[in-house]
Each structure stands twice: as C-alpha cells, then as structure tokens.
Amino acid sequence: MSFELSSDYRQWLQQLKSQFQHTQQNAVRAVNTEMFKFYWQLGEQIVEQQQNYAWGDGFLKQLSHDLMMEFPEMKGFSKRNLEYIRRWYLFWSKDMSIAQQVVAQLGQIPWGHHTTILDKCKDIEIAKFYLQSSLQYGWSRAVLTHQIESQLWQRQGSSIDNFVNTLPTVQSDLAKQTLKDPYIFDFLSLSPEHNERQLEQGLIENITQFLLELGTGFAYVGKQVPLQVGQRDFYLDLLFYHTKLHCYVVIELKVVEFEPEHIGKLNFYIKAVDEQIKTEYDQPTIGLLLCKSKDHLVAQYALSDVNKPIGVSAYELGKMLPSVEQFPRYLVRYGVQASLVELLFYRILESVHWALHAQSESDLKAAHHFEWQDLQPK
C-alpha cells in the first residue's frame, strides 16, 4: 500500500493541518495583541499631547494625514479611528484596575467589537461584561450589537426562580445566570391574539434566533415531546438540553398572564422527565415558564414551596405594524400627511404581511379582504 492511502499517513496529515491552523490563530492573536498595545499607547500619547499643548481637533486631522502618508497600507490611521482610539483610552483608563484586565484581553476580539462597545455602553462595568462575553462566547459583531441593544446585561439572571432552595450552590448560581427576564422574541411577528401553538411554531421556525436568545449551552431536543404517565399521554411544549448545566430544560409556554396553577403543571412535567428521560449522568431537570406577563410577588409565592427547580420569565414580541385603522392616527402622531394612495399602498403591504404569516385558511382570507372605507382616516 502506498503511503498516500495509508490511514496512518492521513491521520498524521490531519494533525499537521490542525497544528498549522492553531499556529496561524496564535500568530493572528499575537499580532492583534501588539497592535492593541500600540493603540493604547497612542491613545495615551494623544491625550497627553492635547493636554500639554492645547491642540484641538485639527491635530488629529494632521496626525492622520502624516501617519497615512508614512503607512499607506494601514487602515487604522483615519481621523475617525484616531478619535476612537482616543475615546477608547479615556474610557477604559478611568479605572486602571479594570484597564489592566482589559489590556490583557485586547487582542482576542476584533477592534470593531471595541468600537461597538464604546458607542453603545456608557458604564464601564457593563462594557466589561460585553467585552468578556464576546471573548467567552465568540460573538460576531452583529450578535454583540444585538445583545447590547436587547439589554442582555439587565435581563440576564433576572428571572424569578427557586434555584437556591432546589439546586446545589454551584448549579444554582450557574442556572440563575442562564435564565433571563424578559426574553426578547423580536424575530417573531404574531398578532396580539396569538395562541400557544402559534408561539411555539414561530420559535421553532426561527430556531437559530431562538437559540441565540436562550443563550450559550442550549441544545434543541424537540417540541410536543410525548410522555406517558399512567394511562394518560402528556406533551411538553419544548424540551432542551443544557450542555453546561448538564441537564434537561423543559420550557412551558403561556400566552396569558402568569397564574399560580401554571407551576403545578410544569412541576409535574419536570418530575416525569426526571423519571423517564434523565439518566444517572444528568443533573436535575430545570423548568422555565415563559408567560406574557407576571406579577413578581405572585410568582414568588407560587414557587416558595415547590421542590423542583423552576424559573418564571416574561417574553416580549417584535413590534407589530399599526393596523390600517390605526395607520392614519399613527402618521398624524409623527406629523406626516398621508394621501389615499399612500394608505392603499400601506394596506396592500399589510395584506402581504398577513398572507406570509397566516396560520390558517381563514387567516389567509382575512389577510386579502378589506373594504374601501377601511382606507378612510378616522
């Protein structure tokens, strides 16, 4: 057998490829780290020069011109980027103990992430959270922007739960940080009268965005998962497995305000999963009740004597377009005058929107049916 066909050779070749890729990644990180160290020094020197000599914005314009003339292949010396470097240094140098930690992590995420954090975060602790999360989870710039705009910092760990009383300390802390309140499903366009099946179907059809909102570690197992208890059949709305918590997560959907009896049903489902699906290698199953709204005190009372780990969170959908009846008043609110043609155009767009999201034949007919008087401002 020739060495090209040898399994040993192919295995060794694959190892070489992996080693080289790893070396490339280390080299890129090393270059980035050195560049960020230079940015830090540059930002510090720009601030010092402007303070010592009272140089204004014209100084940065001239500096940009001179540096770009000397290093034409470098894209980081534009006036705009020099302003970012200056702001970046001033922002992180407010607290040198934090700054030292930041500098040590600089080269591990792209510069674009830093400018995004700088533009959208005013508090240094919040900025540090997004910096470390980007590093830990490998967020792209688009994902980072989404997480900041959806206020992940404020939502993470905010659900109402009984984890302290039902899980070991380490597991409880991690589970607490895993859940959010509220969950933002801005990728869904459902009518205000949506039911639980429509919500469930929408989440599964947008499983990538749903998993992103749930957070790192969630793996989708199934929907309407069947369980038989006694002579009766039951179905879990959604079942996930969390790879960091090493446990199943049962998600129960409620399109109404939280009621105490919801806990009893979810507690029953968790018990059934622990008995029928969970293995000896898995941690205790966790339940997450997602409801349209909740009274915090009512939820706390409902969870107080429950012996299964459960979290309760609200969810929010994407903003719906105003209905055709609301549209004229919507325009007036913002000082816009709408012609009859513009209203007709909007009504056609609305019909197309509902046709695309119709859940039944009756919904589809309703999407295409409208009366001329619908277009008249009220």
Segment 336-365 shows an average pLDDT of 52
Q: Which CATH architecture has domain 160-317?
A: 3-Layer(aba) Sandwich (3.40)
pLDDT digits (tens, 9 = 90+) for 184-209: 888 887 877 888 889 999 999 988 88
- Which is more confident, 170 or 54? 170
- Assign 3-class secondary structure to 148-179: HHCCHHHHECCCEECHHHHCCHHHHHHHHHHC
Q: What is the pLDDT of residue 299?
A: 93
- Which is more confident, 360 or 75? 75
Segment 170-195 shows an average pLDDT of 86
Residue 273 in contact with residue 252, Cβ under 8 Å? Answer: no
pLDDT digits (tens, 9 = 90+) for 113-149: 999 999 999 998 899 899 888 988 888 898 899 889 8
pLDDT digits (tens, 9 = 90+) for 20-66: 777 766 666 666 778 888 888 889 899 988 888 777 768 888 888 88
Q: What is the pLDDT of residue 369?
A: 42
Where do the CATH 3.40.1350.10 domains begin and end in the chain?
A: 160-317
Q: What is the pLDDT of residue 109?
A: 84
Q: Is the pLDDT of residue 367 over 50?
A: no
Q: Where are the alpha helices (DSSP H) in the chain?
A: 7-53, 57-70, 79-92, 96-105, 111-120, 124-137, 141-149, 152-155, 163-166, 169-178, 196-205, 207-214, 261-276, 296-303, 327-333, 340-356, 361-368
